[in-house]
């Protein structure tokens, strides 16, 4: 019962913040509402007893990505982004809303029609030791290879970001 109440609150926060995020005219407010969505999603992870996942979500997403976005908004321009009012054409808005609604209806109908067999889970969180062992283990159902791929990928992204964002030298 308590879980259900928490889920309802989190779902309301997520959906309302997401709606405000895509409909608000100011870009800075959109970034702030996105922060609320991210915190709500991490709450969902805590509700599912994935504590490590929720912590990673807060640290990486709410801490890192939002910070990068805010810095970019502040960096890009005085006139165009800070306090910018973005005008969206009504026809485009209606088209987008119709497309999104159609997709939502189809997906929801399929999901609700399918009978899922859920197992009763005890409210115990995954032990951290188990997560760590299978994250860097190389056996079956262990994930050292994607882990290393991610590290190489992050390195490539750092180098790529530096190369793209650096100032061109004047000839």
- Pick out residues in 51-70 that bind other proteins (CB under 8 A): 53, 56-57, 60-61, 64-65, 68-69
Question: Does residue number 34 form part of the binding site for other proteins (CB under 8 A)?
Answer: yes
Q: How far is the CB of 138 from other proteins (least distance, A)?
A: 14
> Which residue in the set 83, 96, 132, 137 belongs to the binding site for other proteins (CB under 8 A)?
96
Q: How far is the CB of 42 from other proteins (least distance, A)?
A: 10
Contact 147, 136 (CB under 8 A): yes
Specify the residue for token string 């306090």: 83
Q: How far is the CB of 85 from other proteins (least distance, A)?
A: 11
Which positions ≥6 away from 164 have C-beta within 8 Å? none
> Which residue in the set 82, 95, 128, 148 belongs to the binding site for other proteins (CB under 8 A)?
95
CA 73 – CA 154 distance, rounded (Å):
23
Distances (CA, A) of 21 to 38, 73, 81: 12, 15, 15
Length of the chain: 171
CA 77 – CA 131 distance, rounded (Å):
43
> Which residue in the set 3, 82, 83, 137 belongs to the binding site for other proteins (CB under 8 A)?
3
Residues 129-168 contacting other proteins, CB under 8 A: 130-131, 134-135, 141, 143, 146, 150, 153-154, 157-158, 160-162, 164-165
CA 35 – CA 67 distance, rounded (Å):
10
> Which residue in the set 78, 121, 145, 170 belongs to the binding site for other proteins (CB under 8 A)?
121
Question: Residue 117: left if φ>0, alpha if ψ -120 to 50, beta else—which one?
Answer: beta
Question: Does residue number 104 form part of the binding site for other proteins (CB under 8 A)?
Answer: yes
Question: Does residue number 49 form part of the binding site for other proteins (CB under 8 A)?
Answer: yes
């Amino acid at each position: 019962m308590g879980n259900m109440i928490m889920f309802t609150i989190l779902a309301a926060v997520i959906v309302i913040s997401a709606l405000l995020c895509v409909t608000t005219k100011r870009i800075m407010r959109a970034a702030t509402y996105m922060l609320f969505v991210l915190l709500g999603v991490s709450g969902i992870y805590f509700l599912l007893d994935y504590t490590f996942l929720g912590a990673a979500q807060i640290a990486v997403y709410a801490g890192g990505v939002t910070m990068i976005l805010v810095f970019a908004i502040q960096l890009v321009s005085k006139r165009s982004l800070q306090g910018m009012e973005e005008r969206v054409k009504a026809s485009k808005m209606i088209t987008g809303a119709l497309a999104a609604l159609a997709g939502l209806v189809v997906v929801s109908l399929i999901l609700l029609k399918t009978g899922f067999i859920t197992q009763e889970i005890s409210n115990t969180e995954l032990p951290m030791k188990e997560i760590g062992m299978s994250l860097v283990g190389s056996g079956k159902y262990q994930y050292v290879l994607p882990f290393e791929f991610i590290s190489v990928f992050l390195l490539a992204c750092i180098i790529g970001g530096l190369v793209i964002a650096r100032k061109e030298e004047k000839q």
